[in-house]
Amino acid sequence: MSPEASDRILQSLEDMLEAIDTMAAFVADADRDQFSRDLKTIHAVRSVFITLGEAAGRLPEDFRDAHPDIPWKKVRDFRNFMVHVYDRIDTGLLWDTAIESVPPLRKPVATLIETVRRSEDDERS
């Protein structure tokens, strides 16, 4: 893999990790009911879902195919839902997805970041 391709992959993965951590911070001090009444946080979480899906979509298809432990299609599909069906977003679905589906992504994304970094280091040595 070229250094440029590796750098683009690493940047997208880092963007995903930042989105995951940001979302966790946004929902950390709330419960489902508080969240459903907090328009600012709803819009912030929606925005982070969009960022997460965009970053996943920037990854090359062959890279995503090589790492099937991450549900790439679901991440990208949820981004599309946030963008195109924004007027019908159920806050309960948004909350459930932020609480149940996003945190399990953190470890495999962080692991991929380390793997890509090690690969870059090996290629530069």
**Residues taking part in catalysis:** 79, 84
d(CA 117, CA 111): 10
d(CA 91, CA 97): 10
